[in-house]
Amino acid sequence: MIAAELIEAQKARIDSILAKKFEKRNAWPPPLAEAIRYSLFAGGKRLRPVLALTVVELLGRDFTRFDNLFVALECIHTYSLIHDDLPAMDNDDLRRGLPTSHKKFGEAAAILAGDGLLTFAFELLSEESFARNFQPENVTRCVHQVASAAGPGGMVGGQFIDTCGVVAPSTEDRLQNMHDLKTARLLSVSVTAPAVLAGVHEAILQKLAEYGDAIGLAFQVCDDILNVVGNQEYMGKAVGTDEKMGKWTYPKVLGLDGAAAKARELSAKARAALGSFPPDRRRPLELLAEFVVERVK
């Protein structure tokens, strides 16, 4: 199986889980539910829940017990995209080939749709029918890690530095710190959270964290590259926006060749972290590490 085939197969499973979780939400105001579904079901790679699902399979666990985690991770990611696209942030008109949420529904509805997705994620993670599948202390630790990855010490903090930071991330170290927070933390917790719920040994968790940290940063490096060389029609969003907004990116700091080398280095580091797992079990995660640096959107 090649990386693209793995992604499509896992994505189809995640899409099915998402559809079931959002079948009956009758208590939500219909226009808000429409705005939430519009962004959540607009496509996308589903990389975060795909990573989590693949880790569950690596560990040999029943993936149906982890459904709420998969959905929660995608909800948090989608909320971040809705808010990133707002005029006060990146002011984007296009996302996944469609008008962005605020262009379709207005700014207020977009903000509330994002808020709804974020809070619904934690409703899912604290749902009794989900939590009883695991040891209580593991659920608490998982929820804490996900919240930390998404909050001011993670994704929100990274977005603040990117959008409002008073110190420009003009060196590689500063840039890596921003991207670790903005992108890598949520990708990394997508790898470690299922292992935390499963109660694996700390040595295994550490190796998965090394993999997640590396693949998370590699993803952002490639995002920076694609914003320079990507095809807007194929990617479904505007390209060249980072340069127009004066943002600090890996191509800006390292050049395109240097950024590409950095991505390959991180992908190799991620694969190396899996060395202690059986080859047949680790292969899907190795393919995902390859996909992250080979993707074209």
Better pLDDT: 137 or 244 = 137
Mean pLDDT score, 128-151: 98
Query: Rounded to the nearest 5 degrees, what angle is found at the Cα of 125, between the Cα atoms of 181 and 194?
Result: 65
* Residue 296, pLDDT above cutoff 90: no
Mean pLDDT score, 89-113: 95
Report how far Cα 197 is from the mean position of its chain's Cα atoms: 19
- How far is residue 11's CA from residue 285's CA, in Å, rounded to a whole number? 14
> 266 lies in a domain?
yes
- pLDDT per residue as tens digits for the range 195-246: 999 999 999 999 999 999 999 999 999 999 998 887 665 556 667 777 887 8
Residue 169 banded pLDDT, cuts 50, 70, 90: confident
Residue 35 banded pLDDT, cuts 50, 70, 90: very high
In this prediction, residue 24 carries a pLDDT of 74
> 277 lies in a domain?
yes
* Residue 248, pLDDT above cutoff 60: yes
Number of domains in the chain: 1
In this prediction, residue 229 carries a pLDDT of 85
> 89 lies in a domain?
yes
In this prediction, residue 271 carries a pLDDT of 98
Give residues with Cβ within 8 angstroms of 120, minimum separation 6.
36, 72, 75
In this prediction, residue 267 carries a pLDDT of 96
Residue 131 banded pLDDT, cuts 50, 70, 90: very high
> 296 lies in a domain?
no
Provide the 3-class DSSP secondary structure of residue 99. strand
Mean pLDDT score, 32-42: 96
> 268 lies in a domain?
yes
> 234 lies in a domain?
yes
Provide the 3-class DSSP secondary structure of residue 267. helix
> 297 lies in a domain?
no
β-partners of residue 94 are: 99
Mean pLDDT score, 288-292: 94
Residue 88 banded pLDDT, cuts 50, 70, 90: very high
Least confident stretch, 151-155, 184-188, 211-215, 241-245: 241-245
Token couple for 107: 């700014």
* Residue 153, pLDDT above cutoff 80: yes
* Residue 26, pLDDT above cutoff 80: no
> 100 lies in a domain?
yes
Residue 76 banded pLDDT, cuts 50, 70, 90: very high
Q: What is the CATH number of the domain that holds 246?
A: 1.10.600.10
Q: Does residue 127 contact residue 68 with C-beta atoms inside 8 Å?
A: yes
Give residues with Cβ within 8 angstroms of 170, minimum separation 6.
248, 253
- How far is residue 94's CA from residue 90's CA, in Å, rounded to a whole number? 11
Q: Whole domain around residue 142: which residue ranges?
A: 3-290
* Residue 38, pLDDT above cutoff 70: yes
- How far is residue 266's CA from residue 1's CA, in Å, rounded to a whole number? 22
User: In the chain, what percentage of residues exceed pLDDT 90?
Assistant: 78
* Residue 120, pLDDT above cutoff 90: yes
